Amino acid sequence: MSLKEITEEEYSETKKKFSKLVIIVNHPNKEECLGCQQYEPILKKIAEDFNDVEFRTISFKNEGLIELKKDYGEKMTKVPATMVFYDGCLVDKAVGALSYESLRRVLKIYFNI
């Protein structure tokens, strides 16, 4: 499974389309974000290991992403951020790059896998 980038316009439809979804919010310029760079290989590995979960990335820009900010529920000031959706509802979120084991634990809790 690959990490597909989505746009702000695709965000709403994407979260409704998949029952098991993880969206990673990245800096628009990953070269400027050490956390985003460190998180990418972990995400690629976990996406390979959890085939029945959809993984998407979206670039965070201060203007826009209004629905994403509303879902997140607080001012999003740091990236990367991880948002876990089950049947279209946000069930968990985390700021910063998670370890493989931490993200795996979250997926097991919410998706029973």
Q: Which two tokens stand for residue 24?
A: 């990673």
Q: Where are the domains of the chain?
A: 4-111
pTM listed for this prediction: 0.87
Q: How far from chain centre, in Å, is Cα 86?
A: 12
Structural Rg of the chain based on CA atoms = 13
**What's the average model confidence in pLDDT over 58-78?**
70
pLDDT band at 74 (very low <50, low <70, confident <90, very high): low
In this structure, the dihedral spanned by the alpha carbons of residues 111, 58, 61 and 95, taken in order and rounded to 10 degrees, is: 30
Class of domain 4-111: alpha beta
What's the mean pLDDT when you consider all of the chain? 86
